[in-house]
């Protein structure tokens, strides 16, 4: 029985080291150098090349290296009997919360503007108490971000598919309550899982429901956003700008208009990147559970797509 690592766009070295440290006798393979695909029962994966899993006849579990699992389930060739798991990790939540707070602070204190202006030109700034942040997606990351913002005196609302009650947050749910949620939101933060329902949700119709001058932050997935709609709404002045950490195509192509738009801040998918050391114990725990025929933890509902 072997354990496979597939890691496109992320260096697998840290994972190999962290796994070997915790379990030196682990029979580890790193894609594409796999001696015997029929021995692989567990795969730890980040952005695998689609279609490859059909070459692993005894594969039982695919564990995502991150919180998102869209990069796994978007592959139509994954047999339905294979279990998919994701990572839930306090450090990931903390990293995401701090990152979103930093983006909002940059926006309300005009920091990027001042760094780039090379002129002594004080600007008016906004205070957290004057800002309503609306978070779309009240899963573990959404709640973590909400708590961080509340502690820093922002007003926070949350929108999710199903009803949620979160201390200190005014919550909205479902399509019927989306307009109410949007109408008072000054800073919109997308932290939704990417599913067939949420793809393209950040579009012109939604942006039009935000108050004039609203700011958009996407730290979820690139396909949530209709890129031309964002550019149009910024150009019209309806949106004051955006901070984007995720993109339809990553790395963001060099000639993409986001790079040169002075109202758009681009970061290279760095909001919260899994630290192998902190999550390897939960991955190995699931590996052992699989070996012992026990129920796995953090299993994804493939119907719900998250
Ligand atoms: C994740 C990510 O899903 O890094 O963890 O985007």
Write the CATH number for 26: 3.40.50.720
Both structure tokens of 175: 């399509």
**CA 123, chain centre distance (Å):** 32
84 and 118, same structural domain? no
209-233 confidence digits (pLDDT tens): 999 999 999 999 999 999 999 999 9
pLDDT score for 8: 86
Which residues touch 294 (CB under 8 Å, ≥6 apart)? Answer: none
pLDDT score for 197: 95
Q: How far is the CA of 216 from the centre of ligand 1 (A)?
A: 19
283 and 238, same structural domain? no
In a domain, 306, yes or no: no
Range of the domain at 127: 90-266
In a domain, 77, yes or no: yes
250 and 121, same structural domain? yes
Ligand 1 atom with the shortest distance to the CA of 273: 4
Give the integer Cα–Cα distance in Å for 130 and 111: 18
In a domain, 178, yes or no: yes
- DSSP class of residue 49 equals P
- Does 96 contact ligand 1 (Cβ within 6 A)? no
In a domain, 301, yes or no: no
In a domain, 297, yes or no: no
If one counts every other C-beta atom within 10 angstroms of the C-beta of residue 214, the result is 22
**Average pLDDT score over residue span 126-142:** 98
The residues carrying an active-site annotation are 221, 269
pLDDT of 10 > 90? The answer is: no
- Does 7 contact ligand 1 (Cβ within 6 A)? no
116 and 15, same structural domain? no
Q: How far is the CA of 70 from the centre of ligand 1 (A)?
A: 10
Mean pLDDT of the chain: 97
172 and 37, same structural domain? no
**Number of domains composing the chain:** 2
Ligand 1 atom with the shortest distance to the CA of 87: 5
Give the integer Cα–Cα distance in Å for 120 and 113: 11
* Buried-exposed string 50-66: b where 16+ CB fall within 10 A, e elsewhere: eebbeebeebbbbbbbb
Q: What SS3 state is found at 52? A: helix
Q: How far is the CA of 288 from the centre of ligand 1 (A)?
A: 24
125 and 174, same structural domain? yes
Residue whose tokens read 């730290």: 219
In a domain, 299, yes or no: no
In a domain, 303, yes or no: no
């Amino acid at each position: 029985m072997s354990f496979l690592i597939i890691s496109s766009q992320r260096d697998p070295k840290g994972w190999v080291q962290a796994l070997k440290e915790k379990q030196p006798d682990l029979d580890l393979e790193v894609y594409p150098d796999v001696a015997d695909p029929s021995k692989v029962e567990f795969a730890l994966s980040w952005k695998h090349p689609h279609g490859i899993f059909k070459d692993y006849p005894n594969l039982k579990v695919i564990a995502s290296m991150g919180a998102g699992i869209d990069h796994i389930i978007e592959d139509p060739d994954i047999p339905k009997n294979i279990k998919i798991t994701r990572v839930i990790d306090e450090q990931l939540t903390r990293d995401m919360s701090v990152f979103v707070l930093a983006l909002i602070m940059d926006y309300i204190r005009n920091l990027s503007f001042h760094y780039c202006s090379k002129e002594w030109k004080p600007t008016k700034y906004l205070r957290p108490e004057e800002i309503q942040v609306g978070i779309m997606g009240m899963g573990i990351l959404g709640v973590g971000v909400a708590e961080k913002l509340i502690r820093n005196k922002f007003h926070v609302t949350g929108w999710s598919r199903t009803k949620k009650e979160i201390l200190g947050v005014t919550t909205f749910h479902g399509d019927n309550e989306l307009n109410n949620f949007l109408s008072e939101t000054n800073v919109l933060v997308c932290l939704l899982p990417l599913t067939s329902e949420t793809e393209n949700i950040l579009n012109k119709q939604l942006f039009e429901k935000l108050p004039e001058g609203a700011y958009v932050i996407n730290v979820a997935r690139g396909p949530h956003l209709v890129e031309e709609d964002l550019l149009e709404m910024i150009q019209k002045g309806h949106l004051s700008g955006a901070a984007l950490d995720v993109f339809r195509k990553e790395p963001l192509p060099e000639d993409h208009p986001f790079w040169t738009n002075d109202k758009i801040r681009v970061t290279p998918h760095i909001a919260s990147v899994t630290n192998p050391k902190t999550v390897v114990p939960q991955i190995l725990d699931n590996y052992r559970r699989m070996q012992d025929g026990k129920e796995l933890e953090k299993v994804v509902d493939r119907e719900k797509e998250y």
